[in-house]
Amino acid sequence: MTTWWRDIPLVARSLMTIRFLRSVSQGALAVDFVLYLHAMHWSAAAIGLLLMASGLTGALLSIVVGLISDQYGRKPFLLFYEAGLVLGTLLIVFTHLRIVLIVVAIFFAFGRGANGSSGPFAPAEQAWLASVIPPLRRGSLFSVNAALTFWGMAIGSFLAGVLPGFLTGTQPVVRFDPLFWLTIVIGVINAVQIWWTPEPKPQATEPVAENVSSIDETTLRHQENKALSLLALVNTINSLGVGLIAPLLPYWFSVRFGVGPKAIGPVYGLTFLLTGLSSLAIGKVSQRIGLMGSIVWPRFIGVIALISMAFMPSFLPAAILYILRSVVNRGSMGTRQAFSVSLVRDKRRGFASSLNAVSWTVPASIGPAIGGWLMGMGSLDWPFVLASALQLGYIVIFPRVMGQYDPTRGLSKSPLT
C-alpha cells in the first residue's frame, strides 16, 4: 500500500472504496441503460421523462435524508440504499416488468451517470466523508475521491461495451441482464463494507476551520444559510445546462452517428480514465490558485468543447471533444464538493449537502425532459446551444456571487475570480 493512501484516514479510505466500486456499476449503466431503453423502443421524450422523474424523486428524498442524518447518523441510510438497490435490481432481472424497471430506475438513478454517488442518500455519504477528513485536506482528498469514482466509471464504461455481448438472446431484456448482475454483486459487497465501517460521533465544533468562537448561533446560522442560498441559486443555472444534454449523450451519439455500445463504451471509459487524472491535477492546482480558479477555468474550456461538439461531421471528432469537455468539467467535481462542505459546520453538513444536491438535481432532472423533447422533434443541435449558454452564464456568475466564501481566495490571481 502506497504512502499517500495510508495517509488518508481509515474511514475515509473505506468510504472512497465503496464509492469506487459503486461507480463501476454506474459507469456501465451510464452508457447502456439509455441504449437499453432505446432498444426497447422507448422514445427520446419518454427516456427524458424517466430521467427527470428519477432526479426529482432523488432531490425530494435527499432533503429528508440530509436533515435526519444530521441527527441520527449517516450509516443506516447507506445500508438501506445498498439493500434496496440489490433487491430492486434482482426484481428487474427475474421479472422484467416495465413497472418494476421504472420504479427502480427512478429511486436508484439508473442511467444518470451519478459518478458513484448513492442517489438520494448521497448527502449522508458526503457528510460522513467530510466529518472524517481534516478541513485543510478536504480540497485534495475530495479530489482523490472524485478521481477514484471516475476511474470506477471508466471500468464500468469499458464493461458496457462487452457485457451485452455475453448473452446472445434476441431480446434486449436478455442481452442487457449482465449489467444488472454487475450492479447486484457490487451492491452486496458494498453493503458488507458499510456494515463494518465505523461512524464517528458528530463533533460539536471545528475551531481550526470554522472560526466560530465569539459568534452566536443565530448570526452564524444566518451567514451559513445565506451562503447556501447563493450556492443553490448559481447551481441551478449550471445544472439545468448540464441536464439538457449530458444524460442523453449516448442516445445522441446513436441517433446522430449510428453507433452503439461497442463504440460509445470505450469512449466513455477513456473519458472517465482521463477525468480521474484531471481531478487529481485540479486538486493540486487548487492549492496554488485557489478553489475558485480551479472551478471556473476548466468549465470555460468545457463550454467551448460542448458547443463545438454539436457541429462535428462524424463520430471521431465529436468523441474527442466529448472527452475534452468531460475531462475539464468533471475534473473539478472534487474541488466543488470541497467548496460546498466548507460553507457550514459538521453538524449541518448533511443539510448543506442535501440542499446542494437539490439545487443541482431538480434543474438537472428537468433538463433531460427538455432535451429529449427537442431531440424527439428532430433538433439535435439546440440542446447543445442552450446548454452552452447556461453553463457560460454559470461561469460568469459563480465567482462574483460565491468568491467571498472561498477560503483560498487569497491564492487566486484570476480576473474571473
List CB contacts of 85: < 8 A, sequence separation 6 or more.
Answer: 108, 183, 187
Q: What's the burial of 241, exposed, middle or buried (CB within 10 Å: 0-12/13-18/19+)? A: buried
SS3 assignment, position 168: coil
Cα–Cα dist 374/370, whole Å:
6
Closest by CA to 126, choosing from 232, 231, 27, 15, is 15
Amino acid at 375: M
Q: Which residue has the cell 477513456?
A: 270
C-alpha cell at 63: 432533503
Q: Which residue has the cell 478536504?
A: 138
Q: Give residue 206's pLDDT.
A: 47
Q: Domain residues of the chain, as ranges? A: 3-198+221-411
CATH topology of domain 3-198+221-411: Growth Hormone; Chain: A; (1.20.1250)
Cα–Cα dist 19/130, whole Å:
14
**Cβ distance 178 to 163 under 8 Å?**
yes
C-alpha cell at 206: 471545528
- Dihedral over alpha carbons 382, 386, 391, 394 (to 10 degrees): 180
**Cβ distance 177 to 93 under 8 Å?**
yes
List CB contacts of 150: < 8 A, sequence separation 6 or more.
Answer: 23, 115, 272, 273, 275, 276, 279, 330
DSSP, residue by residue, 90-133: HHHHHH--HHHHHHHHHHHTTTS--TT--GGGHHHHHHHHHHTS
Please tell me the pTM assigned to this model.
Answer: 0.75
pLDDT along the chain (417 residues), means of 10: 78 95 91 85 87 83 80 88 96 91 90 73 84 78 86 89 70 80 96 91 50 64 85 89 88 92 88 86 71 79 94 95 90 73 73 76 84 88 94 91 71 50
DSSP, residue by residue, 30-61: HHHHHHHHHHTT--HHHHHHHHHHHHHHHHHH
Q: Give residue 350's pLDDT.
A: 72
Closest by CA to 126, choosing from 106, 149, 92, is 149
